[in-house]
Structure 1
C-alpha cells in the first residue's frame, strides 16, 4: 500500500519534502504528485494536471491548501484511499466532506508528527 504526497517538491526546505524523506526512511512506499517537475528520493514527481492513475493507495497526505486545489477533489477520491491527512495549512472542507461521504477516514494532523509518534 502506498502513500501519495500531494504537493510533493524537490525543495528540501518544504514539509512535503521532509515527509517524503521520513516516509521513505520508515519503509513506506511513496508516490509524489505535484505541479512542478522534479524528483524526490528516486521517485519522479507526477504532474497532478495529468491526474495520473494510481493503484493500491492507502494514504493521501495533503500539502496543498484548498485555494490552490480546486478541481482536483474528484481525482483524490478516485484514488480510493483509506485515509486522507490534511496537514496544517492544507485543510480543505469540501474534500473532507466528500471523502467522509465515501467512508474515507480524514485526519487533521501532521504527517511528520504522526510518523515520529508512531501514529502513522
Structure 2
C-alpha cells in the first residue's frame, strides 16, 4: 500500500499520543507502520523496535523529543517521505533545515488535530 505513515516514537501505552495517533490513522483506513523502543502491537499495526527499510512512506509523524531525533536524521531522509510532521514538543529547527534541504516538506502540527479536521 502506498501513502503510508510512519509513526516514529510509537508506544503500546494507550495513554500516549503516538498510540492514539496509530488508532486514529487506522480508523481512517490509512496505512501505518510504527517504530518505537519496544516491540508490540496496536490494533493491527506491529511496532518495530529497530529501523526498517519501509517503502512508500508518505508521512513521518514524530513523537520523539529533539534530542532523541538526532539518531534518526539520516534514516528519515533516506526513507524519502513527502513530509515530516513535528507534533507538539518535537519541534527541531536543526532537523527542519535538513529536511527542507532534502526537499522534504516540514509540517509543525498535531497529527490528531489534522486527522480530526480532515486536513491529514
TM-score range, shorter chain: over 0.9
Q: Which runs of 5+ in 1 are unaligned?
A: none
Q: How many residues end up aligned between the 2 structures?
A: 118
How far the C-alpha of 1:95 sits from its partner, in A, is: 1.7
Q: TM-score, with normalisation over the residues of structure 2?
A: 0.94
TM-score normalized with structure 1 length: 0.94
Q: Give the aligned CA root-mean-square deviation in angstroms.
A: 0.9
Counterpart of 1:9 in structure 2 is 11
> 1:32: Cα distance to partner?
0.7
Unmatched segments (≥5 aa) in structure 2: none
Superposed displacement of residue 80, structure 1? 0.4
Runs of 4+ deviating beyond 6 Å:
none
8 Å contact from structure 2 (residues 35, 51) kept in 1: no
- Please say which of residues 80-89 and 68-77 is displaced more in the overlay: 68-77
Question: 2:37 pairs with 18, 35, 53, which one?
Answer: 35
Query: Which residue of structure 1 aligns with residue 51 of structure 2?
Result: 51
- Could you say which residue in structure 1 is the equivalent of 2:74? 74
What residue in structure 1 maps to residue 98 of structure 2? 98
The residue aligned with 1:22 is 24
SS at match of 2:5: strand
Please state how far the C-alpha of 1:70 moved relative to its aligned partner: 2.1
